[in-house]
Amino acid sequence: MLNYRHLHYFWVVTKEGGFARAAERLDMAVQTISAQVRELEKSLGHQLLKPSGRGVALTEAGQAAFAQAEKIFQLGQSIPDEVREAASGKVARLAVGLSDGISKLAAHALLKPVLSTPNLRLVCHDGEFEQLLSELALHHLDLVLAGQEAPRNPNLRLTSERLVDSPVEWYGPARLVGTGERDRFPQILNDLPVLLPTGHSALRAALDHWFETQGLRPRIVGEFEDSALLAVFAARGLGVFPVSRLGADDVSLMRGLRLLGCSDGVKEEIHAIRSRRGEHHPLVTQVVAAARH
What is the SS3 assignment for 218? coil
Is-same-fold flag (4-78; 166-266)? no
Residues in CB range of 245: below 8 A, 6 or more apart? 166, 167, 168, 169
What is the SS3 assignment for 118? coil
In angstroms, the CA 284 to CA 113 distance is 10
Residues 30-47 pLDDT 10s: 999 999 999 999 999 999
Residue 155 has a pLDDT of 67
Calculate mean pLDDT across residues 49-53.
89
Write out the CATH class of domain 88-164+271-292: alpha beta
Q: Read off the pLDDT band of 293 (50, 70, 90).
A: confident
Architecture of domain 166-266: 3-Layer(aba) Sandwich (3.40)
Residue 89 has a pLDDT of 63
DSSP per-residue string spanning 138-203: TTS-SEEEESSPPP--TTT-EEEEEEEEEEEEEEEETTT--HHHHHTTTGGGGTSEEEEE-TTSHH
Mean pLDDT of the residues in the chain: 88
Residue 214 has a pLDDT of 95
In angstroms, the CA 279 to CA 260 distance is 39
Residues 134-154 pLDDT 10s: 888 888 899 999 988 888 876
The CA R_g of the chain, rounded to the nearest whole Å, is: 25
Q: Of 234, 162, 159, nearest to 192 (Cα)?
A: 234
Burial of 97 from C-beta contacts in 10 A (0-12 / 13-18 / 19+): buried
Please answer whether residues 171 and 250 qualify as being in contact, where contact means their C-beta atoms are separated by less than 8 angstroms.
Answer: no
Topology, domain 4-78:
Arc Repressor Mutant, subunit A (1.10.10)
Who has greater pLDDT, 200 or 190? 190
Structural domain spans, the chain: 4-78, 88-164+271-292, 166-266
- What DSSP state is assigned to residue 64? H
Residues 254-274 pLDDT 10s: 677 899 999 999 998 899 999
In angstroms, the CA 32 to CA 106 distance is 54
